């Protein structure tokens, strides 16, 4: 009797546990997902890995529709061999229409289930989704790798912010700051998608306004969160000749003066000169001249960007956070996005050249 009990205990160990087993060879990796639709009716495009023969991997895209994004996956699952597993997702594409639904509600499953890869990127794309799943010759890599590499480069160049699925939720839940997501567009010349700038969110949903690459870079500097490098190029006129000047931002100091109905922001920026064919930067006078020029141009551009933000009623810079913390009477005026749009915001940029390259 004792022996039978012992054997059944040992055997029971062999039975338990298997219910949460998911053999890796029975699931398929989905590194790229695209969603279109609105609340209640979604279409999902799942780009998943197909291993047809040993040591060779290819990707194919499958479409599914349903009432939620999880429902689209279940629908698409019925059309694939192996289980679609979004736990390795690199990039999630959203159409401009899909972005008009609060992502927190859309991606409830992602935040709720422990398997989701929260470091995947969220991207808003322009136009029809079908064109974003075509691999072209000039991509060089597989489709998901191309998106990841493209976004990574844009992030290093300060065009897009370092925002993933996880930090998107943090920004969406914060009333003092708005979400900005990378915005991608099909290039008409090459037929490949590329980063255009950022898509601005206003009060948890896409505002419909987007910024181009230069404007997006300015946002990252306004936030004081640039990537590895942030570069600006301007045309400098001298003696009826155009000299392009490219500068890299080295250091930035910001100062915000917030009063009852206005914000005066001063940005002291230090630049290194990458390109300046006119030269003579070793002379105090020409350097001063260039600094003044840059200050003027940048101030103009920065103010233009802030105007656009106010138009979009979107505050991705996070002025609202400071206002909320130190200026409650301004914060309590109403919804921050509305207050922000009405505020008088002046940005002043003071440029300083600290490095001139090895020429002088």
Partner 1 sequence: MDDVKSNDSLILYIQNLFHDSADLIVRKISWKDGDGIVCFLSTMTESSEVNKQIEILRLRSIAELPNWAGTATSSVEAFSVPKLIKTVTNGFVAIFFPATNLLLTITIPSFEVRSTTEPNNEIVIRGAHEGFVESIDKNISLIRKHLLISDLVVKDVKLGEDTNTKVTYVFIESIADKDVVNEVKSRLENIDRTKIYSIGQIEDYLEDSLWSPFPQFLNTERPDRAVANLLEGKIVLFTDQSPSALIAPVNFFSFYETPDDFNGRVIVSSFFRMLRIFSFVIAVFLPAYYIAVVGFHSEVLPYDLSMKVKTAVEFIPYRPIVEALIVELFIEVIREATIRLPAPIGPTIGIVGGLVIGDAIVNAGLVSNLMVVVVAMTAISSFVVPSVEMNTTIRIIRFPFMLAATLFGFFGIAIGTIILFIHLMNRSSLSQPYLSPVVPFDPSRFKNIFFRIPYFKNHKQQQTFTHGTGRRKRRGRN
CA dihedral 74, 75, 76, 78 (to 10 degrees): 90
DSSP letters of 58-82? Answer: EEEEEEEEESSHHHHHHHHHTTSSS
Q: Which is nearer to partner 1, 18 or 359 (CB)?
A: 18
Burial of 129 (0-12, 13-18, 19+ CB in 10 A): buried
Nearest-approach distance from CB 153 to partner 1, in angstroms: 17
Nearest-approach distance from CB 29 to partner 1, in angstroms: 6
Nearest-approach distance from CB 215 to partner 1, in angstroms: 31
Q: Which is nearer to partner 1, 57 or 67 (CB)?
A: 57
Which of 220-236 are b and which e, b meaning 16 or more Cβ less than 10 Å from the residue's Cβ? bbbbeebbeebbbebeb
Q: Which is nearer to partner 1, 21 or 240 (CB)?
A: 21
Q: Which is nearer to partner 1, 59 or 201 (CB)?
A: 59
Residues at the contact surface with partner 1, assessed by CB under 8 A: 13-14, 16-18, 20-25, 27, 29, 31, 49, 51, 54-57, 85, 87-88, 90, 115, 117, 148
Q: Which is nearer to partner 1, 20 or 284 (CB)?
A: 20
DSSP state of 113: S
DSSP letters of 220-266? Answer: HHHTT---S--EEEEEEEETTEEEEEEEEEEEEEEEEEE-SSEEEEE
Q: Which is nearer to partner 1, 18 or 358 (CB)?
A: 18
Non-local (6+) Cβ contacts of 40 within 8 A are 67
Nearest-approach distance from CB 180 to partner 1, in angstroms: 24
Sort strands 193-202 and 205-212 into parallel, antiparallel or unpaired.
Answer: antiparallel
Nearest-approach distance from CB 168 to partner 1, in angstroms: 19
Nearest-approach distance from CB 98 to partner 1, in angstroms: 23
């Amino acid at each position: 009797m004792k022996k039978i009990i012992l054997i059944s205990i040992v055997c029971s160990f062999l039975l338990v546990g298997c219910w949460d087993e998911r053999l890796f060879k029975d699931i398929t990796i989905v590194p790229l997902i695209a969603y279109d639709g609105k609340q209640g009716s979604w279409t999902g495009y799942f780009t998943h890995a197909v291993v047809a023969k040993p040591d060779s991997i290819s990707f194919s895209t499958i479409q599914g529709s349903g009432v939620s994004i999880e429902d689209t996956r279940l629908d698409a699952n019925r059309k694939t061999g192996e289980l679609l597993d979004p736990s390795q997702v690199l990039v999630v594409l959203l159409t401009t229409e899909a972005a008009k639904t609060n992502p927190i509600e859309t991606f409830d499953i992602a935040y709720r289930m422990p398997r989701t890869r929260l470091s995947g990127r969220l991207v808003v794309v322009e136009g029809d989704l079908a064109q974003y799943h075509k691999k072209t010759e000039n991509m060089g890599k597989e489709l998901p790798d191309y998106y990841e590499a493209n976004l990574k480069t844009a992030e290093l160049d300060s065009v897009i912010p370092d925002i993933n699925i996880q930090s998107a939720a943090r920004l969406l839940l914060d009333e003092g700051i708005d979400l900005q997501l990378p915005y991608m567009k099909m290039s008409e010349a090459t037929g490949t998608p590329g980063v255009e700038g950022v898509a601005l969110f206003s009060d948890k949903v896409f505002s419909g306004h987007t910024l181009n690459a230069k404007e997006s870079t300015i946002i990252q500097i306004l936030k004081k969160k640039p990537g590895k490098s942030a570069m600006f190029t301007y045309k400098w006129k001298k003696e009826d000749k155009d000299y392009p000047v490219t500068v890299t931002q080295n250091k930035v100091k910001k100062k915000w003066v917030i009063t009852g109905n206005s914000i005066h922001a001063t940005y002291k920026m230090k630049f290194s000169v990458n390109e300046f064919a006119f030269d003579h930067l070793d002379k105090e006078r020409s350097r001063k001249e260039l600094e003044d020029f840059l200050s003027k141009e940048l101030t103009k551009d920065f103010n233009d960007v802030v105007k656009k933000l106010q138009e979009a009623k979107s505050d991705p810079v996070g002025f609202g956070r400071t206002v909320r913390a130190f200026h409650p009477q301004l914060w309590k005026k109403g919804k921050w996005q509305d207050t922000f749009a009405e505020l008088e915001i002046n940005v002043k940029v003071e440029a300083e050249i600290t490095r001139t390259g090895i020429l002088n």
